Structure formats: C-alpha cells, structure tokens
Structure 1
Amino acid sequence: MTTLKRARTSFSLNFAAFPPAVLEEIVVAASDLCLLVTDANVVEDIIRGGAVDDLIGEDWIDKPLQSIVSKDSWRKLDMLWSAQKQDAPVWRHLNFIIPNDPKGEGVPLLVRRIAVDNGRSIVVCRDLRPSVKMQKTFNTALHEMVQSLEDSQSAQQFHPSDSGGAKAKTSVFQGRATAAVEKAIDEVGHLPLAEIVTQTAQVLEDICIQLAYEKCDYDLSKTADLLGISSDELASRIHFVP
C-alpha cells in the first residue's frame, strides 16, 4: 500500500507539470463529462466529452448542482458530498435535468466526486444512456420471450398441475435475467461496451434456451422449433441436463 501511495505521489507531481490544454484532453478522455463545482456547490465550469455534446450546453453554469439533478437523485448527491476524502472512491447513478428536453427524460450519469483542498469539487461523469437503453432492450426481449412461451404452453395444453411450477420457474429465470442486466450496468466504465453486451446476451440466451427446453418437456426438436434454430445448433448450446 505504501508503494502505491508513493507511486501516486510521484505521478501527481509529474501530472501537475502538464499544460492546461493537455490536462483538459486527459479529463475528456477519462470521462464523458466533468463539472467544476465551487465550495457553495454551484457549477463553475464544464468540460464535455463527445458522448454528451448533443444534450448538455452552458445552461448548467452558475446554477446550484442540486437544481440540475432530479429530486430522486438528491439523496445520492448528498451521499457523494458526505463521503470522506480518505474513503474508497464512490460512484453514484444520478439523473440530470436537461432544459427544454422534448422527452423530459434527462440524462443518467454515473458520477464520482473528487474533493479539492480549497473546498471546490471536480465531478467526473460517465454517460449511462447506452446501458439504460440496453437494459430496456433486454427487458422488452425477456417479456416477449416469456409471453411467447406462455402462449405456446397454453396452445399445447400442458397439464394443469404443472401450471404453478412453470410460473415459479419463469419467475426464477426472470430474476436471473434481471441480475445479469444489473451486473452489466455495474461493469460500465470497467469493460468495453461490446464485451458487456456480449457477456449479457450470452447469459440471456442460455436462460431462454433452458426455459424453452423445460417448457417443451426436454424435447430437443420441439425446443428448436420454438426457438427458431436448428436442432444441431440447440444441442451445441445446451449446457445442462434435465
């Protein structure tokens, strides 16, 4: 731990020697948005990355930070400011208000506060819109998949005594899918987006295959027809046994 501290101190001294323009480029590369906040929690300046240029202008400057985040984010904003400087870095999901936003949705940002000795703060933000969009897509796909399987179950007239167990299993699978999406969101900023999407899609596909396989009484051919894939492809994707 001492070695790490010494290394960080050395890096900080070298870092301070960089020209302001270089420091700004480093900030932009490390985040989608950076806010400089006064000791009175008023936005003093903004550095924008390319991901958020389309939504965020100069409207936030000279405004209290609390006034540009939605009310449901006020508590998390307070938690960022109450964290001690020596504590481990804390990231919070805050929803920011965009003036004249036609959809009224604002923009979700993953936020970390860096306290400066003079009472000011640097607020580093990462754009969560791709992750939120991905979560909505997965939720829609999961709902459609479950509805399709329930319709198929009704059409095939499964035995009534199996109904309760089938619903319980569906609930379990929905929980697993939700957990997979939540894990994906936690990986934002730690893994490339393409890798996050690939891993989460794989989990969701496995869940769908297992659910369909059980719904079809472990009949490989019926399951393949239900999923719209070949029996050979299905056989290569099944990682479980009945």
Structure 2
Amino acid sequence: MARAGARHYSERLDRADLRRLMDGMADLIVELDAAGMVVDLTSGGAVGGAEWVGRAFADVVCPDSREKARDLAATDPLDEGEGLGPWGTARHVNVTGAGGESLPFLLRPFRLTPAGGVLLVGHDLAAESRMQRQFEAAQRVMIRDYEARLAQVQESYQRDLRASSVAEAAGRVGISPLEQILSDFARRLRRHCAQEALARSGEDYRAAAELLGISTDELDAILIAPLAD
C-alpha cells in the first residue's frame, strides 16, 4: 500500500536510473523507429549488437519469424477496448544469435509517443525451450519403452495361447508325465482366459474378475503364476 502523499517510485528516478531498472528486468530491449528500423538495443550479449542498428527489425530475425517481426514493428494504434493502452500483444520470435543460431524470445511491443516508434521488451525463452525439448525427448523414451513392453506382452500372450492348445499339450506325450502336462495346460488356459477377460473389460480388473466368476485377488494370482517353459 502506498504511503499517503508519497510519489510513485518512477517519479523519483532519473532517466539513467530508469533505464538501468528496465535493462535489469528484460533480457532484450530493442528500440525501433516509425519505419521499423533498429535505433538502439540492450541485451545480455547473446543476441544483437552494433550490426543490428540501422537495419529493419524484420531482417535481423530468423526467416520463420519475419511476419511476426513486421507485426511487432507496426505503429498502427491499438484497440483501446482491449485495455492494453500502449502495450501490444506479446509474440514468440526467433532472433539470430551472435553465432548465427536461432534464439527464442517473447517480445512485447510498447508504442512510443508522440514521435512514434516501438520499444520491444523481450524475455529469453531459451530455458523454457530447452525444458520443452527435454520433456519431448523423455516422452519419446517413455513411448518407446511402453511399445517395447507391449510387444513383449503380446509375444508372451501369443506363446501362451499356442501352448494352451490341446494339440500342443498332446504333443508333450512321452516327454512329460500326464499329470504335469495337464497341470501346465490348466495354468496356461487359466492365464489365457484371464487375459481375454481383461481385454474384453478394457483392462478393468474388477469387471474382468466378474466375467470369470472369481475375485480380483484370484485374478492377480492367475496372471502372476509362473508357467512351465
């Protein structure tokens, strides 16, 4: 809450102090004249420099951002109904770095009056962009791992399905004792029925158990029971 009779802090700062304050709050400040030419700029050194001054702002950004740059440099009056006053809508613009690389910034235009021109106040989006790339990379790894596990489950399911057939069981006559054949066959058939019930119920354990007439604990036991090779 402001003190009674106290002047706003901006009224107590001289031009140099105000400029230092603005420079500290923004990662990039670009001043454009009414023709959209760069008059002055302040940055952390990663972008811009003396080579920007005197050039059209649309020529110092990456090709994919030139249309946005022209929109930002436009000096048409804003719609006062938006309640933005002299501030325009912020845009994501990729500018060319000192090494020629593309650097993302969120630039918001401030219309200068009465002489015209625009002041672009920018926030560096490099950290956010890097986090987005890391998230997308992690997401791709998760999807790849999920697909690999799904393929393993499907392969196991098909193997169990083949092994649960009567012909497959009969083929073990003379290799394994009858009781062992019947026991292995029953376990594989139970596993196959449990997996089929889960598939029909949309992976809903309770619904699958009801289809089979057993409890969810019994369903779990069937699915995790070891099977003979």
- Please indicate, yes or no, whether the TM-score normalized by the shorter chain is above 0.5: yes
CA RMSD of aligned residues (A): 2.7
Structure 2 equivalent of residue 110 of structure 1: 106
Which is richer in helix?
1
Structure 2 equivalent of residue 59 of structure 1: 51
Quote the offset at 1:79 in angstroms.
Answer: 3.1
Question: How many Å separate the matches in 2 of 1:79 and 1:41?
Answer: 10
Question: How many Å separate the matches in 2 of 1:69 and 1:44?
Answer: 15
Contact 2:107 2:122 in 1 (8 A): yes
Contact 2:31 2:119 in 1 (8 A): yes
Question: Counterpart of 1:60 in 2: which secondary structure?
Answer: coil
Quote the offset at 1:63 in angstroms.
Answer: 1.3
Residue 62 of structure 1 aligns with an amino acid whose one-letter code is: G
Question: How many Å separate the matches in 1 of 2:105 and 2:50?
Answer: 17
Structure 1 equivalent of residue 134 of structure 2: 137
Structure 1: gaps spanning 5 or more residues: 1-9, 161-216, 220-242
Quote the offset at 1:106 in angstroms.
Answer: 1.9
Contact 1:85 1:115 in 2 (8 A): no
Quote the offset at 1:16 in angstroms.
Answer: 5.1
Change (3 A) 1:39 1:71: same
Question: How many Å separate the matches in 2 of 1:69 and 1:30?
Answer: 22
Residue 78 of structure 2 aligns with an amino acid whose one-letter code is: Q
- Selected match of 1:84 from 62, 69, 78: 78
Question: How many Å separate the matches in 2 of 1:114 and 1:79?
Answer: 12
Contact 2:93 2:106 in 1 (8 A): yes
Contact 1:60 1:68 in 2 (8 A): yes
Question: How many Å separate the matches in 2 of 1:27 and 1:69?
Answer: 22
Alignment of 1:1-242 (within 5 A): 11=8, 15=10, 18-48=13-43, 52-80=44-72, 81=74, 82=76, 84=78, 86=80, 87=82, 88=84, 89-99=88-98, 101=99, 104-117=100-113, 118-157=115-154
Quote the offset at 1:30 in angstroms.
Answer: 2.1
Quote the offset at 1:46 in angstroms.
Answer: 1.2
Contact 1:24 1:47 in 2 (8 A): no
The sequence identity of aligned pairs, in percent, is 23
Question: Counterpart of 1:111 in 2: which secondary structure?
Answer: strand
- Structure 1-normalised TM-score? 0.54
Contact 2:103 2:126 in 1 (8 A): yes
Contact 2:32 2:118 in 1 (8 A): yes
Question: How many Å separate the matches in 2 of 1:83 and 1:98?
Answer: 31
Structure with the greater alpha carbon radius of gyration: 2
Structure 2: gaps spanning 5 or more residues: 1-6, 159-202, 206-229
Structure 1 equivalent of residue 172 of structure 2: none
